[in-house]
Structure 1
Amino acid sequence: MSNFDMNRRKFIESTGILAAGLLVAPRLMFDEKTHVPIQESPVTIIKNAAATAKINVTKLRGNLSMLEGSGGNILVSYGPDGKLMVDGGIGVSKPNVSAALNGIGKNPLKYLVNTHWHFDHVDGNEWLHEAGAVIVAHENTLKNMSKTTRVDDWDYTFPPAPAGALPEKTFKKKEKLSFNGEEIKMSYYQPAHTDSDISVYFPKADVLHVADIWWNGHYPFIDHNTGGNIKGMIDAANISLQNSSKDTIIIPGHGPVGNRKQLTEYRDMLSDIYDRVRTLKMQGKSVNEVVAAKPTAKYDAVYGTFIIGPDFFTRLVYRSA
């Protein structure tokens, strides 16, 4: 069995069984040793897998729960005001997501907050809007969803989203929403993973959803097509650390529920790799030469064994180092 076959199998299993959502699979686009391009976009593979993915529900603190299994991690607030979701997963997961929501409680869905524009976080927007949710997001999420948007590393061009999937309420820097006894705080990061990333904080429960600026235990994807860059990722991690404490439950976009210590280790990893790649790039080394120097080596055993491989992450960092 080839390396690609093994990586592809691992990816499909993780998407459809373990958590469905570690969305970027550059190894699906290029084999890391042969660099042979693979024709099938990971977007198609992820959507197909999400149709049958199991939705796992984890009770957090207070009235908050996390849903895993359809795209990025979904946070749900439930109470007398109804339900509020942070991210909506992938549309084909509707039956299983609906069942999970009903299992949390019968009160109606009122709000959906999108943390950024990527399909594994907003593809469920249309049916959730039809179910009663007012969609809230940063203005750049609306911008990217309203037009044809290309992501080269996924070999995929997204058409404009249907009108019913578009955010109805947008903001530029900060927004607040009173719901179920919480004064929920939404804050824009500046370009990091994309140009539309926000955090969503529940102060009473002390739960912070940081979305795809953090992939807990994995090298992250950086979407350069819509403004993502490595320095922004580091800055966003620093902001999240400043806005959390040792007791804060931190929800990553992908991977298990985490804490401040884990996010600190992730930030330090990003910073170190950025410095190493930037130094080599400033010496005039090409991207292939930098990849060959293995600037991620000391972290690969922890962060590089899953979807984003060390070579590809190095290439992502190189672009904006």
Structure 2
Amino acid sequence: MSTTNRRSFLARGAALAAVPTAAVLADGALAGQASAATLPDYAPIPPSALGPAVNAQGYYVGRVEKNLYWVTDGTYQAAFLTTREGVVLFDAPPSIGHNLQRAVDEIAAANGVSNKVTHLVYSHHHADHLGASSLFGRHVTRIGHTEAKKLLARDNDPARPVPDITFDERHTLHVGGERIELAWHGTNHTPDNVYIHLPRHNTLMLVDVLLPGWVPFDSFNLNEDVPGSIAAPAKAMSYPWKHFIGGHIGRLGTRQDMVVYQQYVDDIVENVKKALVTVDPTPYFAKYGDNVWAAVKEYQAAQVAYASDPVIRKYTGVLAAADVYTASTTFVILESLRLDLGVESQVHA
């Protein structure tokens, strides 16, 4: 394995660092120890889903447009804008960590501009996107949504200092002759997730909604507001942009990526609505009797399979990991349609 490929492999594994490699039983025996022979097979990843290879230090930095750059380790993404007054950084994922400054240094040296990070914009409060914030010291001006400040104060994580500047709905950041438009359009992935628009650079950054070239992560990206997350892409498309930074995986996005993602989610929604009226609950409750949870589990599994199987077939080879996480996303959307929107909610006569 070459150094670059090895670094790429390690970088992609960084997101899984907190997951145990094997379950441990109470008596200390290993359970379910994995091997290549026992792990399941999944569909190949479409080449279109993959981004550029990372370098020997485990990162890739490239130009988005003009003086806007993006950084990735193959799993997480951040971005930065060089200005005559310093550098504005957008998010600080811990998996990229010190490579963020290395990427800034690389670009600054090549272009003869300052490498000093003066501002750090928070997309939202989650540690996987902000856990390297403290690396940039106390003198960096941090900007985030009002709710982000509340949540970070609650979490009391020294790695994620609370923002110095907050806003409720909109804020325009002017640094070194550059303009950055920040906006909150309602809850989606989290209550504080914001739209970061750089109009002079034809770029929109919206984290944990669209993961370009891929289906959402487990359980619909662990979204806290499913209807808000379903609505987010249309709000994103209302902005003029050419380049999209989604915060995850190894490449930038395009407007066509957003179109495909919207259709993917729409297909799940439509199939869930069909499943809610088509799958008969009778055999499940007849078999399990008083064990209501068993009946519900198997009934909903049948609904999820009914709704997700056609979507998996349609998008395998189009979106990476369609066969990996579509079912879990379908379950979350099914529950949201039932509980948030009242689809097929029936009042007992």
TM-score class, shorter-chain normalisation, is 0.7 to 0.9
Larger Rg: 2
SS of residue in 1 equivalent to 2:123:
coil
Query: Is residue 123 from structure 1 mapped to residue 134 from structure 2 by the alignment?
Result: no
Q: How is 1:101-180 mapped onto 2 (pairs within 5 angstroms)?
A: 101-105=104-108, 106-130=114-138, 132-148=139-155, 160-162=156-158, 165-180=161-176
Q: 2:69 aligns with which of 62, 65, 71?
A: 65
Question: TM-score, normalised on structure 1?
Answer: 0.74
CA contact (8 A) 1:21 1:69 kept: no
Between 232-241 and 276-285, report the one with greater CA deviation. 276-285
3-state SS of paired residue (2:200): coil
Q: Does 1:181 align with 2:139?
A: no
1:244–1:260 contact (8 Å) kept in structure 2: no
CA distance in 1, matches of 2:238, 2:32: 41
Amino acid at match of 1:123: G
Offset of residue 53 of structure 1:
6.5
Amino acid at match of 1:104: I
Alignment of 1:290 with 2:303, yes or no, is yes
Quick check: 1:94 aligned with 2:110? no
Say whether the 8 Å CA contact 2:78–2:89 is kept in structure 1.
yes
Quote how far apart the aligned CAs of 1:204 are: 1.2
2:268 is aligned, of 259, 273, 276, to: 273
CA contact (8 A) 2:131 2:160 kept: no
State the shift of 1:122 in Å: 0.8
Deviations 1:172-205 (A, max 9, x none): 1111101232221011132222222111111111
Are 1:315 and 2:311 counterparts? no
| Distance of aligned partners of 1:216 and 1:163 in 2 relative to their CA distance in 1, 3 Å threshold | closer
SS of residue matched to 2:97 = helix
Query: How far apart are 1:278 and its partner, in Å?
Result: 3.6
Q: What code does the residue aligned with 2:245 have? A: I
Does the CA-based 8 Å contact 2:132-2:159 persist in structure 1?
Answer: no
The answer to whether the 8 A contact 1:198-1:210 is kept is yes
Provide the identity percentage.
21
Write the distance in 2 (CA, Å) between the matches of 1:22 and 1:261.
Answer: 29
C-alpha deviation, 1:19, in angstroms: 9.0
Equivalent position to 2:231, from 220, 228, 235: 235
Q: Summarize the Cα distance change of 1:95–1:162 in structure 2 as closer, same or farther, 3 Å threshold.
A: closer
The aligned counterpart of 2:53 is none
2-structure distance, mates of 1:70, 1:133:
26
Change (3 A) 1:271 1:109: same
SS in structure 1 opposite 2:317?
helix
Instruction: Write the distance in 2 (CA, Å) between the matches of 1:162 and 1:125.
Output: 9
**Matched-pair contact (CA < 8 Å) for 1:125–1:166:** no
Between the aligned partners of 2:72 and 2:332, the Cα distance in structure 1 is: 26
Shift of the 214–223 alpha-carbon distance from structure 1 to 2, 3 Å rule, reads: closer
Shift of the alpha carbon at 1:290?
Answer: 2.0
Asked whether the equivalents of residues 268 and 307 of structure 2 are also in contact (C-alpha less than 8 Å), the reply is no
**Distance in 1 separating the partners of 2:323 and 2:150:** 28
Alpha-carbon distance, 1:308 to partner? 5.2
2:210 counterpart letter in structure 1: W
Deviation at 1:24, TM superposition (A): 11
CA contact (8 A) 1:219 1:313 kept: no
* CA distance, structure 2, for counterparts of residue 87 and residue 307 of structure 1: 30
Q: Which runs of no fewer than 5 residues in structure 1 stay unpaired?
A: 1-11, 30-35, 39-51, 149-159
Match of 2:213 in 1: 217
Distance (whole Å) between structure 2 residues aligned to residue 135 and residue 37 of structure 1 = 44
The two structures have a TM-score, normalised by structure 2, of: 0.68
Q: 1:93 to 1:223 in 2, by over 3 A?
A: closer
Deviations 1:154-187 (A, max 9, x none): xxxxxx3128622222111111101232221011
> CA distance change for structure 1 residues 232 and 278 in 2, over 3 Å: closer, same or farther?
farther
SS in 2 for 1:301: coil
Partner AA of 1:287 in structure 2 = Q
Structure 1 residues 294 and 227 mapped into 2: Cα distance closer, same or farther (>3 Å)? Answer: closer
1:16 aligns with 2:10: yes
Q: CA deviation at 1:293?
A: 1.5
The Cα shift of 1:68 comes to 0.3
How many residue pairs are counted as aligned between the two chains? 273
Q: In structure 1, give the amino acid aligned to 2:190.
A: T
* Structure-1 separation of matches of 2:17 and 2:260: 22
Letter of the 1:299 partner, please give it: Y
* Cα distance per residue 1:8-36 (max 9 Å; x no partner): xxxx98773359669999xx99xxxxxx9
Do structure 1's residue 76 and structure 2's residue 53 form an aligned pair? no
